[in-house]
Structure 1
C-alpha cells in the first residue's frame, strides 16, 4: 500500500527553529521546544489554541506530549509521540497528514527540543536504566559513533570508498553553513579535505570532522489541510509522498552494513508522490556522520550502490555543485541537538517557499528530506512540493 490518496492532501504552513547552538545552563529542552512552536505558529499566522493535533519529542521527557501540552496549554484531540530516533519527525509529518485527511485533527503541531550542551554544563546525569539485554555492551562500543564507523569501514572495504571522499561531505557541509547565519559553523571559515583527515580520530575511520555537531536547539512545523493552507499567511508546502521502514535496533543486527532501508522508504515515497530521483531539486539528508549522505545518495537512487563516494567528489554536493545537498549546513555544520530530522524538514520547506536567503536554490518545486534513526535503524523519506508540483 503506497497511500497515493494522501498526495497533496496536507501541507506545511509554518516552520521555525528555536535559539540554536550553546544556549547556556539556565535553559531547558521544553523551553526551546516551546520557543520553536510559537515561532512556527506565528510563521503560519495561527495560535496555540488552533492546535488540535500534537506530535512531540522533548528530550528527557518520558511523557513528552503530556508535558508539552501542559506547558503550551494545548489540549489535542489527536496525539502521537512515538520515538524511532531522528527520523521520528518525518514519521510525524506522514502520520499528521493521515490524521488530517481522516478528520482526526485540523491543525497539527510537530515539535522537538533538546539541550545536550546545556545538560553538559549542568553536569546533568543520564536518566533511566540501560536497555537490557544488550548483546553489544560487553564489547564496550562508543555508540553511536562506533556503529557508524563499522558501517563506514565496511563500505570502504567493499566499494573502495576513501577517507578523502568522506571528507568531501564535511567540506560541502561547512561551505553551505557559510551561507546560513543560523549555522553553528557560520563564520568559521572554509574546511579543507586535509583538515578533516588530520583532525582527531574518534572511531576509526571517522575523525571529529566526520561527526555531527553537539548543539542545543528546537524545531517546529505546523500542518493543516491543503484547502485551509491556501487561506493562511505563507505559500503551502505540500506533502507529496512519504514512506517509512526500519530493519533493526542494534548495528550488529543490520542486515547489510552498506545498505539501509531507505531503499524501501524512498520507494514508497516516490510511488506516493509520482516522482523519481531526477525530479528532485534539493536534498536534505540526515548527516550524523559523513558516511550517511554517501549511503543515502545510493539508497535513494541518485547513484548506484558503491558509487556514493565518487558521486560526492569535486564539490558535486557543495554550493555551485550539480546537486544541492544539505543547503543549511546539515548536522555536520548547522546544528545537531541529539536528533536532526526536523531540521531537514524545515530547510526543505524553506527551499520550496523560496525563503532560504543566500543559500536559496532556483526553481525548487520538489525537495526530499531523509530521516535516520538509531544506527541506520529507521528510515523515513518525505517528499515536499510547491503548488506547481501538485
Structure 2
C-alpha cells in the first residue's frame, strides 16, 4: 500500500441524515483514498458506485481474508470469524442457505398480512393514547422486533433487553469495551438458553430449524448456530427500526415529496427504494474486503492483501449513476441502489425489510392524517450517539 499518510475516517461527525460532504469531492478527484478508522490497520476507501459494486461483488475481494488481521473497523470489537458476515463462499453459502428460505420474496409476501396487523395494532394504541406519540418507541421499534421475534420464536416480552444488546453490538463510543463484552455475553447467553429450550421441545420456528440443522444434519457448528441466531435477532430488527423514523424524518423535511406520496399511495414501493438510496444509514463504511490479488479500481492499483472499504453512502449519491443524486425523487427509476449491499453478502432480510417499510409508510400516512413533527424538529427529535447506525432515538409526532 502506498506510504501516503491515511486520512482519519469517518471524515466528519455524523450530521443527522446528511452524507459526509467530503464524499462528493473524493468521487470526483480521489475516488480511492487511504483512510484510518478508529480501530485496525489502514484501508482503501472506495467511493464510486461501480467500484463499490466491484468490491462487494467481485470474488477477488474476500471477507474471510480478514481472519488473523487487525481489520479496519469503527467499533472496538471485530466481527467474529464464525459470523456469517466474516465468511466467503462456500461456507457463507452453506450458512445462508439454512435461513434463506425464510426470507425469500415469496415467503415474505405471505407474512404481509401479519405485518399489516401488527402495524395497525400499534397505530391503534397510538390513537387510543392520543398525540403526541414517540414514533420510535411506539411504532418503529416494536414493529420489526415483533416480526423477527415471531419468525425466530423468541418471547416478545424479552424485547426490552434487545435494544441494549443491539446498541452494544453496534456501539462505536456509546459503551466501553467492557460494557460491550458484558452485553454481547448476555445476548449470547440468552440465545444459548433459547437453543436449549428448542432441544428439549422443538417448535415450528426458524430457531428450531437451526437446531435441527445442527443436531440432526450436522450442517453447521455450535458456534456458527449461535452466531447466526444472534445476527438474525439483532440485524433482523435494528436496521428497519432505524429506517422507519429516518424515512418519516426525510419525508417531513421534504413536504413536496410527502404530499406527492399522500396523493398517490401507489408510489410507496418506489418511495422505499428511493429512500433506501437517499438515507445514509451507516455513519461510515465498515466490514472490509481484502484483495486476493492485485486489482485496479479507478486507476489505482490495490495490492493483494490490502483491505478495501466500500462506502454505500457515497455510491448511492454518485453522479455517474444517478441524475441529480442529492435530490429526493420518489418516482426515480434509475440504477439499483446499494442500500442493502451487493453481491454474496447482499442483505438476506431485504425482502422482509421492504415489506415492513412499505407497510409502515402506508399505515402511518393513511391512519395518521396530517402527520407532522409535534414541535420544532430540533426540539422533538433526538439522534443516536456513539453507534454505527444513524437515526433518531426519539421522534415526537402529532396528527390531526
| TM-score, scaled relative to structure 2 | 0.25
Larger Rg: 2
Structure richer in helix, relative to its length: 2
| TM-score, scaled relative to structure 1 | 0.25
Structure richer in strand, relative to its length: 1
